[in-house]
Amino acid sequence: MSFVDTSIINRPGNVTREMADSQDYGIVKVDDNGNILLYNRYEADMAGVEPSHAEGRSFFTQVAPCTNNRLFFGKFKEGVSNGNLNEQFKYTFTYKMKPTPVEIHLYRDQETKTNWVFVKKAA
């Protein structure tokens, strides 16, 4: 079961910045190439990267290069390519921070053709 609020996972295309910033987990909206379109406050605080610095940059190579591997970026590319991205897994962020265990939910909304990286610190 995902940690993502059902109002978001059921209609991610409707997520506004205000809605994203009010959540207690990271929300990163990315295009099919992994460029960041929306970066919420939780993710910014956890990673130490301001939304204004993250948005417009590549999530996988410029903002969170520790995710540029087969496990993370590979799952993203495969899911986008086949139009069916809905992967949940545990991961450890290491870039610009002490190793931080997290839960990840990669998701693609077919209706709006949007991609999402949801992140929550592991308990």
Q: What is the CATH number of the domain that holds 62?
A: 3.30.450.20
Q: What pTM was computed for the model?
A: 0.93
**Mean pLDDT, to the nearest integer, of 98-105?**
92
Q: Is residue 1 part of a domain?
A: no
In a domain, 99, yes or no: yes
> What pLDDT score was predicted for residue 68?
96
Judge whether 102 lies within some domain. Answer: yes
Q: What is the pLDDT of residue 99?
A: 87
At residue 95, does pLDDT exceed 90? no
Name the residue among 51, 94, 87 with its Cα closest to residue 72: 87
> If you average pLDDT over residues 97-104, what whole number do you get?
88
Residue 119: predicted pLDDT: 97
Residue among 97, 77, 78, 79 at smallest CA distance from 26:
97
* Of the candidates 115, 72, 75, the residue with the CA atom closest to the CA atom of residue 94: 72
Kindly state whether residue 28 falls inside one of the protein's structural domains: yes
Residue 49 resides in a domain? yes
Task: Answer whether residue 76 is part of any domain.
Answer: yes
Whether residue 33 lies inside any domain: the answer is yes
Q: How many structural domains are present in the chain?
A: 1
pLDDT digits (tens, 9 = 90+) for 37-82: 999 999 999 989 999 999 999 999 999 999 999 999 999 999 999 9
Under 8 Å between Cβ of 6 and 23: no
* Residue numbers of the domain that contains 53: 6-121
Between CA 77 and CA 30 the distance in angstroms is 12
Beta bridge partners of 28: 39, 117
